[in-house]
């Protein structure tokens, strides 16, 4: 029996890998804590000069040379998993281990990064939708710390960052885009974890 490929391993010749950034569509959500997954993929796409196009209920951008497709669902966060079907039809991927999901996490301090090859949703509705669609929790994910709520959780994650947080947020998003870069190059997942997992940001240090 053949073993499953390790998360982050290069895809088979006929397979794609999919980087999924989670967020909400619309200008009213731009720059909010819940949209850092979108923001990290936007940075990565800009570095490579990639153009976004609509595919079903999502925007996608291809990095063809690496057989990587970027995916930003515009189903709203709670239904993020619905975007995987149309993408998989056009960009066949082997399974959950071929994904790399980038999301916010209010359980982590602002500027923290946490990579895991599998695990629980931690109450994140976008991750729960991905898990329900895949019927698996064994997909790599990168969680970006957005700080602890000081009021209602929903209001907090849908709020913009403050001016005082801007430097940390920008450095953290750049670092998250670096992680997507190394994942897209096929860096082993254990090396990604060693390189990018952190509890505190670097900006201002």
Q: Sign of torsion, CA 45 39 188 18?
A: negative
Distance CA 78, CA 124 (A): 9
Distance CA 173, CA 43 (A): 8
Q: 34 an active-site residue?
A: yes
Taking the alpha carbons at both ends of the chain, their separation in whole angstroms is 49
CB 109 within 8 A of CB 200: yes
CB 72 within 8 A of CB 102: no
Catalytic residue, candidates 34, 48, 124, 151:
34
List the catalytic residues.
34
């Amino acid at each position: 029996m053949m073993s499953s490929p390790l998360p982050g391993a290069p895809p088979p010749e006929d397979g794609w890998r999919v980087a999924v950034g989670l967020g909400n569509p619309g200008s009213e959500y731009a720059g909010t804590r819940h949209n850092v997954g979108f923001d990290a993929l936007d940075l990565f796409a800009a570095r490579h000069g990639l153009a976004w196009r609509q595919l079903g209920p999502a925007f996608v951008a291809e990095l063809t040379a690496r057989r990587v497709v970027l995916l930003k669902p515009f189903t709203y966060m709670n239904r993020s998993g619905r975007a995987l079907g149309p993408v998989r039809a056009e960009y066949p991927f082997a399974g959950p281990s071929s994904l790399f999901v980038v999301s916010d996490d209010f359980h982590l301090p602002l500027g923290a990064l946490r990579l895991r090859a599998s695990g629980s949703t931690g109450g994140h509705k976008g991750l729960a939708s991905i898990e329900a669609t895949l019927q698996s929790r064994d997909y790599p994910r990168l969680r970006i710390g957005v700080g602890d709520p000081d009021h209602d959780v929903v209001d907090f994650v849908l709020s913009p960052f403050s001016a005082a947080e801007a430097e940390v947020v920008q450095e953290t998003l750049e670092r998250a885009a670096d992680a997507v870069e190394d994942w897209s190059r096929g860096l082993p997942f254990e090396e990604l974890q060693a390189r990018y997992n952190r509890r505190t940001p670097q900006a201002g240090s």
